Amino acid sequence: MPLGTYKEALSARSTDKKILDVSQDGGIVSALLCYALDEGIIEGAVVAGTPDDDWRPIPTVVTSSDEVIAAAGTKYSMSPTLSALKEATRQYGLEKVGVVATPCQTQGLRKAQAYPFTRFVAEKIKLIIGIYCMENFPMASLDTFATAKLGFDSLQEATKMDIGKGKFWLTKDGEDSGLAIKETHGYEQAGCNICQDYVCEWADVSTGSVGSPDGWSTVLTRTDDGDSVFKAAVSAGLIETKPMDEVKPGLPLLEKLAKGKKDKNTAERERRAKMGVKIPALY
Amino acid sequence: MFDKLKKAFGGSSEEAPKVEEKVEAAPVEEKVEAAPAEETKAASSKPRIGYIHLSGCTGDAMSLTENYDILSTVLTDMIDIVYGQTLVDKWIHGTYAEEMPEMDLCLIEGSVCLQDEHSVHEILEARKKSGLICAFGSCALTGCFTTFARGGQQAQPKHESFLPISSLVKVDLALPGCPVAPEVIAKAVVALCEGDLDYLKPAMDWAACDKGCGCDVLTNVIRQGLCTGCGTCALACPTRAMGFSEGRPSCDRDRCIKCGSCYMMCPRSWLPVERIKKETGL
């Protein structure tokens, strides 16, 4: 099962124009967070924001729809988001916290729940919204894509960043410049090379663009909590959905990418183990 | 090790009289009287727990008692605390000078001060009397902040070297933390009583560890090309020694107390895959 355990797969999009104006794809993460905040399912969430608008992700605690929307959009560099859980539970005193997490961050969260070595944090994690992730880039790699490969004067000129249709895209003055994904290989962080999870298999609900048409997202609901929050947001009219078999390219592409990541990075794990360097011990 | 754990918690040959009374009084247990005598005996024997307080701040004992919601059940139905200065007022060097009782498990809080004859004697005695020794909290496991002790202070100026307990005795399992978190204590106690060895395996493997530091994340995760900058180590750090620079943790060693929590919690040091699948159903 390259997509992990899930209850339902749907193509979905936020119905809120305010969200769609700033969202990466279908605005599912923002719509779910806004809904969960409004309904009191969570009191706040930790997310990757870019308060300085410089593409550098900063772990951020959000407690309102406005703050969610201000932090919307994918960031393609590392955000130690879990560090902000401490701020959310201690400084903000939140009892019910949502987290927007990549697969590796979700592993950290689930481990912290299974072995709660940090007092009074794990029990407060009420919703994990997982985002599909193939790999992540150091800021210097993004700088290289912008300046050395796409001819920008600096990364700061870019007004939008995206990966899709086989390319890494930067937008400047309304014009999109694409860099073949192959050109980005070798610039990702090394830790990503042993990750076998593309679709955030341990989240409550996971989402990402792959499999759905432009402006839509593919959603996999996984746990009872994730499934009920998503369904409730749909019932409330905040999210519209389409069956996956009615959209192109559909689940086969998502499965292909998920399997590709598993195969490639399982081989890398084996290569490292054979060399005798460390890989995570699995229990 | 597994046999030892099973033996310790599956059926101790000696039973506390209190347990017998309780079982006899419980009508549900009466019904299963027909079962073979040995089986009944095994099922009704509660683990005998000791708690030794060496050079630590009592934070770990406080964490233990912070499990208010389950504590009464744990104490009355699941375990017997048979030894401990703070918890049951029994101490071999105190007013109630008596022999240390036999224990299935002895939790040890605090590092051991080499210049304190009482501590040294008590820990050596515990190793003889207890089936299992658990380094309970980071002071016992790694020395934690007592590592930085230098002596020259009242009331015992000579007390200067504080060692992880594994320096003197074999340790069977370890629960790090400064202090060890109430929730993980609760889960470990339940696992012990249920004989869930899978859950305790990481704690058993960790027993051999005698040092912990923010450096572990540097040498065993970052330097190994395993770090993804997820931020778990900063969440784990009780002193906020862990900052981030270019997506990588950066330990402020003046703040690091060497509790080992950051590396213990890192999803790239070890990952409890089976447990997570079981708990989440994923």
Which residues of chain B does A78 touch, with a Cβ-Cβ cutoff of 8 Å? 228-229, 246-248
Tokens at A8, concatenated:
């339902």
Phi, psi (5° rounding) for residue B8?
A: -65, -35
* Chain A from 52 to 91: CB within 8 A of any B CB: 59, 77-86
* Chain B from 139 to 198: CB within 8 A of any A CB: 176-177, 179-184, 187, 198
Q: A206 touching B, CB under 8 A?
A: no
pLDDT in tens, B107-150: 999 999 999 999 999 999 999 999 999 999 999 999 999 999 99
Q: Is A152 in a helix, a strand, or coil?
A: coil
In angstroms and rounded to an integer, the radius of gyration of the C-alpha atoms of chain B is 20
Tokens at A5, concatenated:
């355990």
- DSSP assignment of A100-117 equals EE-HHHHHHHHHHHHS--
How far apart CA B135 and CA B163 sit, in angstroms, is 12
Q: What is the mean pLDDT of residues B262-271?
A: 96
Please name the member of B240, B264, B269 whose beta carbon is closest to the beta carbon of A280.
B269
Over 60: is that where the pLDDT of A91 sits? yes
Q: A191 touching B, CB under 8 A?
A: yes
Over 50: is that where the pLDDT of B42 sits? no
pLDDT category of residue A51 using cuts at 50, 70 and 90: confident
In angstroms and rounded to an integer, the radius of gyration of the C-alpha atoms of chain A is 18
Which residues of chain B does A278 touch, with a Cβ-Cβ cutoff of 8 Å? 220-221, 224, 226
Candidates A55, A76, A81, A107, partner chain B, best to mutate (most B CBs within 10 A): A107
Over 70: is that where the pLDDT of A76 sits? yes
Q: A279 touching B, CB under 8 A?
A: yes
Shortest distance between the Cα of B260 and any Cα of chain A, in A, equals 11
In the DSSP assignment, the letter for residue A68 is H
Q: Which pLDDT score is estimated for B95? A: 62
Q: Which residues pair with B134 in a beta bridge?
A: B107, B173
Shortest distance between the Cα of A283 and any Cα of chain B, in A, equals 5
Q: B137 touching A, CB under 8 A?
A: no
pLDDT in tens, B4-27: 444 444 433 333 333 333 333 333
Over 50: is that where the pLDDT of A268 sits? yes
Q: B187 and A116: CB-CB below 8 Å?
A: yes
On whether the CB atoms of residues B82 and B50 are closer than 8 A, the answer is yes
How far apart CA A114 and CA B271 sit, in angstroms, is 10
Q: A7 touching B, CB under 8 A?
A: no
Q: Which pLDDT score is estimated for B16? A: 34
Q: Which pLDDT score is estimated for B96? A: 65
- Torsion on CA atoms A232, A233, A239, A244, rounded to nearest 10: -40
Q: Which pLDDT score is estimated for B18? A: 35
Q: What is the mean pLDDT of residues A243-270?
A: 97
Q: Which pLDDT score is estimated for B164? A: 96
What percent of chain B is modeled with pLDDT above 70? 83
Secondary structure in 3-state letters for chain B? CHHHHHHHHHCCCCCCHHHHHHHHHCHHHHHHHHCCHHHHHHHHCCCEEEEEECECCCHHHHHHHCCHHHHHHHHHHHCEEEEEHHHHCECCCCCCCCCCCCEEEEEEECEEECCCHHHHHHHHHHHHHEEEEEEECHHHHHCHHHHHCCCCCCCCCCCCCEECHHHCCCCCEEECCCCCCHHHHHHHHHHHHHCCHHHHHHHHHHHHCCCCCHHHHHHHHHCCCCCCCCCHHHHHCCCCCEEEECCEEEECCCCCCCCCHHHHHCCCCEECHHHHHHHHCC
Q: Which pLDDT score is estimated for B97? A: 58
pLDDT category of residue B43 using cuts at 50, 70 and 90: very low
Q: Which pLDDT score is estimated for B79? A: 87
Please name the member of B183, B205, B227 whose beta carbon is closest to the beta carbon of A116.
B183
* Chain B from 223 to 282: CB within 8 A of any A CB: 224-232, 234-236, 240, 242, 244, 246-249, 261, 264-276, 279-282
pLDDT in tens, B210-254: 778 888 999 999 999 999 999 999 999 999 999 999 999 999 999
Over 60: is that where the pLDDT of B76 sits? yes
B202: closest chain A residue by CA: A283
How confident is the prediction for chain A on average, in pLDDT? 97
Tokens at B195, concatenated:
């004989």
Residue corresponding to tokens 């590796």: A104
Q: Which residues pair with A175 in a beta bridge?
A: A172
pLDDT in tens, A127-162: 999 999 999 999 999 999 999 999 999 999 999 999
Q: B276 and A111: CB-CB below 8 Å?
A: yes
Q: Which residues pair with A205 in a beta bridge?
A: A129, A221
How far apart CA A276 and CA B224 sit, in angstroms, is 11
